Amino acid sequence: MSKIIVMTSGKGGVGKTTSSAAFATGLALRGFKTVVIDFDVGLRNLDLVMGCERRVVFDFINVINGEAKLNQALIKDKRIENLYILPTSQTRDKDALTREGVEKVLNELSKEFDYILCDSPAGIERGALMSLYFADHAIIVTNPEVSSVRDSDRILGVLNSRSRRAEQGLEPVTQQLLLTRYDPERVEKGEMLKVDDVLEILAIPLLGVIPESQAVLRASNVGMPVILDEVSNAGLAYSDAVGRFLGEDIEHRFVTPQKKGLFSRLLRRSA
């Protein structure tokens, strides 16, 4: 039985797509057959971050509309076994997402895959609602600042009231927090919210803290999920988060500033 995960946040630009790409890759690396779906119709990005933008022929909307078969639209990752991408349309808008169409595609995917990861667009409108409606599990991507926390709180309310599980009175969607772009030094100076501050307001379990890292932008630009960058803190933090998601007991790291010696200060620019 496949599990449907939604990566969502309410607010834009907090790292949903980066996290979706990293998480899907992490699950596939551990041997689970995984597909990641881009729900951001009209603002297609996932294919870029996954480095498969030049292989998109058919997309999610074509499949919903019956213009293409699912296998024609699914793109197999070239680096990792078991990893597939279902890109979205750049020319259509969110109205192309119908509940019946999305359900049909998800049902078909669930026959084949262990994990279906839905990359939600920003906002709480149709695109976001469709991406979370069928979810069994939600990963809430939040930055350590007040507006992102408030929007995450809002989307948690939406999950609790407008998801399929909520509407049908089933077991609620499980929810975990992924705190991204965390800069321990700025937190220490009081310029960012602490992990505990965010947890106090959102009151959901912590899946992981991803440190602010230049590796993320670098990875996006070359179309490589950052989890594959095994020397970056961000890559390691995503890998830990995937482990925790699968039930492993892994201690949180990168939440306090690293002590800097003379040597690392000299080398700071190249870090």
Partner 1 sequence: MSSASQVAERDVPFQLRGNSFTMMVLKVFAPTSPNFFTQLNVKVRQAPNFFHNAPVVLDFDDLPEAIVFDLGAFVAQVQALNLLPVGFQGGPQAVREAAMNVGLTPMPSGRAAKLEEVVKAPDPRQPDQQAPVAAPQVLIEVVHRPTVVVTEPVRSGMRVYAEKTDLIVTSSVSPGAELLADGNIHVYGALRGRALAGFSGDTNARIFCHSLEAEVLSVAGNYRISEDIGSDFYKKAVQVFLRDGVLSMDLLKTG
Read off φ and ψ for residue 35, nearest 5 degrees. -125, 140
Which candidate, 22, 77, 81, places its Cα nearest to that of 55? 77
User: Is 257 near partner 1 (CB under 8 A)?
Assistant: no
Kind and range of the H or E run holding 77: none
Which candidate, 88, 90, 122, places its Cα nearest to that of 105? 88
User: Is 169 near partner 1 (CB under 8 A)?
Assistant: no
42 labeled binding residue: no
Shortest distance in whole angstroms from residue 120 CB to partner 1: 16
Query: Sign of dihedral through CA atoms 240, 245, 246, 249?
Result: positive
14 labeled binding residue: yes
User: Is 171 near partner 1 (CB under 8 A)?
Assistant: no
34 labeled binding residue: no
Give the range of 32-40, 105-113, 195-203, 253-261 binding partner 1 by CB under 8 A: 195-203
Closer residue to partner 1 (CB): 62 or 152: 152
Q: Of 13, 31, 157, 205, which one interacts with partner 1 (CB under 8 A)? A: 157
Q: Residue with structure tokens 């906002």? A: 123
Count residues near partner 1 (CB under 8 A).
Answer: 13
User: Is 217 near partner 1 (CB under 8 A)?
Assistant: no
User: Is 90 near partner 1 (CB under 8 A)?
Assistant: no
Q: Of 68, 70, 199, 201, which one interacts with partner 1 (CB under 8 A)? A: 201
Closer residue to partner 1 (CB): 167 or 200: 200
Closer residue to partner 1 (CB): 175 or 233: 175
Q: Of 72, 162, 191, 203, which one interacts with partner 1 (CB under 8 A)? A: 203
Question: Rounded to whole angstroms, what are the CA distances from 142 to 17, 36, 39, 112?
Answer: 12, 20, 18, 31
16 labeled binding residue: yes
* Cα–Cα distance, 179 to 100 (Å, whole number): 33
What pairs with residue 177 in β-bridges?
140, 206
User: Is 161 near partner 1 (CB under 8 A)?
Assistant: yes
User: Is 150 near partner 1 (CB under 8 A)?
Assistant: yes
12 labeled binding residue: yes
Contacts of 181 (CB under 8 A, 6+ apart): 14, 15, 143, 144, 210, 212
11 labeled binding residue: yes
* Cα–Cα distance, 139 to 14 (Å, whole number): 13
Query: Sign of dihedral through CA atoms 246, 251, 254, 256?
Result: positive
Please report, as ranges, the residues that interact with partner 1 according to CB under 8 A: 124, 150-151, 153-154, 156-158, 160-161, 200-201, 203
Binding-site members are 11-18
